[in-house]
Amino acid sequence: MDPAAPEEARVGLEARRSLLVALGIYALATALLFATTAPERLAGHTPFNHFALLADAWIHGRLDLGGPPPAYTGNNDFASFDGRWFVSFPPFPALLIAPRVWLAGSAERVADGRFFGWFGGVAPALLFLTLEKLTQAGRSRRSLGENALLALLFAFGSVYWFSSVQGTVWFVAHVVGAALAAAYVYCSLDAAHPFAAGLALAFGFATRTPLGFAFPFFLFEAHRAAAKTDAARAWLRPLALFAAPAAAVLAALMWHNRARFGDPLEFGHRMLAIGWRGRIDKWGLFSYHYLGRNLAVVLTDLPFVDPSHLKGAAPFQINVHGLPLWITSPFLTWAFWPKRKGRLYWALALTALCVAAPSLLYQNSGWIQFGYRFSSDFAPFLLIMIAVGGRRLTLPFWALGAAAVAVNAFGALTFQRAGYERFYFVDGSQKVLHQPD
């Protein structure tokens, strides 16, 4: 009898068990997300179906919309250039929905919120598989149950929940982007799947631009794997396989930009027809100038209390710049309180910082939102930091996790629903961050 057979059987059993649990997480998360989505988001197209509109333009051989945006969109977040109108959002989600639009015959015939709703459970399931892979490799000590709960905390204890039930362009990008971020980390571990890792990173960049800055994690894993051998090709081969799909997707994006705007580096957001275009013209899309405001949203944008001067208002209101991260997901503080800080932990921390930095310097804080939605870009890395940090997840952690689920349930069930102004403070100027005296 082959002495390695029992070990191979054990590994195979663990892999099958992990896959079954991941499928269960996908089914549970997707079902709960659909159940907490407003019926009108599922019945027909959403009012901001930009990705379906972009796919429809491609299908008809155009890069622009072929005219002004549909009236139902309110001309919200479209780019205007040379007398034509464009969707400037990174286009990968449009590629996903394009076959459905082609079959339907037009963007308006596609229930885009329902289509992208089926992606809601993908990120939690892939995050669980990533955590399990770390456990099985001995790089994390978390149990299967802990890994499953951490994945579900991402789904329902973070702003991912309210984002997933919106179905509109800004939030769909976070749903798809989080799935690609989790896939990227899974494929990057031990540099086991360099081509797939590069593809996930590239598609992540083509969905949520900050995800393109997650490349340090693969470089760390590739270096770690190469250090086990003296052969130089052990480093060069995975790096080449990683870079090839990333370069191909980047080249396609640059061609797309040049064909639309005459500049391969112009994605079109500088040309948005929006009320605060002046600050973009003055400070640019990214600037240190925006850092203070964005940090205030992440850390200090507390609910407004007892706004009695507002007729019919609740005892509190949430500024639509969004609740701070420590209110929506307080358990994430465990990411910065590890028991051990190995190289893997620091690689994840550096990657999370690189992904967070562009949003902190961006001209928009994420407004309008329940909580800081841009955190969905880097929250998967923070969850993995908690797993590999080694600190026991005791009652305080799970209590904060339960509180986070309650907070985010409120956001998912009230944000942009009928009468939501009762619980939310909306200032069209975007200048009011904290409650006036």
For position 397, what pLDDT does the model report? 98
| 425 Rama sector, left if φ>0, alpha if ψ -120 to 50, beta otherwise | beta
For position 271, what pLDDT does the model report? 87
Number of residues that make up the chain: 437
Whole-angstrom distance, CA of residue 190 vs CA of residue 201: 16
For position 8, what pLDDT does the model report? 67
* Cβ atoms 88, 63 nearer than 8 A: no
The domain limits of the chain are 5-425
- ω into 25 cis (within 30 of 0): no
SS3 content of the chain, % helix, strand, coil (to 5): 65, 5, 35
* Cβ atoms 316, 373 nearer than 8 A: no
Residue type, 292: G
Whole-angstrom distance, CA of residue 260 vs CA of residue 244: 25
For position 15, what pLDDT does the model report? 82
- Extract the tokens encoding 45: 């197209």
For position 348, what pLDDT does the model report? 98
> What pLDDT tens digit does each residue of the chain (437 aa) get?
555 566 667 677 888 899 999 999 999 999 999 999 999 999 999 999 999 999 999 999 999 999 999 999 999 999 999 999 999 999 999 999 999 999 999 999 999 999 999 999 999 999 999 999 999 999 999 999 999 999 999 999 999 999 999 999 999 999 999 999 999 999 999 999 999 999 999 999 999 999 999 999 999 999 999 887 766 667 889 999 999 999 999 999 999 999 999 999 999 888 887 777 888 889 999 999 999 999 999 999 999 987 565 555 678 899 999 999 999 999 999 999 999 899 999 999 999 999 999 999 999 999 999 999 999 999 999 999 999 999 999 999 999 999 999 999 999 999 999 888 889 999 888 889 999 88
Indicate the DSSP class of residue 70.
P
pLDDT digits over 390-423, tens only?
999 999 999 999 999 999 999 999 999 988 888 9
pLDDT digits over 7-21, tens only?
667 677 888 899 999
pLDDT digits over 115-159, tens only?
999 999 999 999 999 999 999 999 999 999 999 999 999 999 999
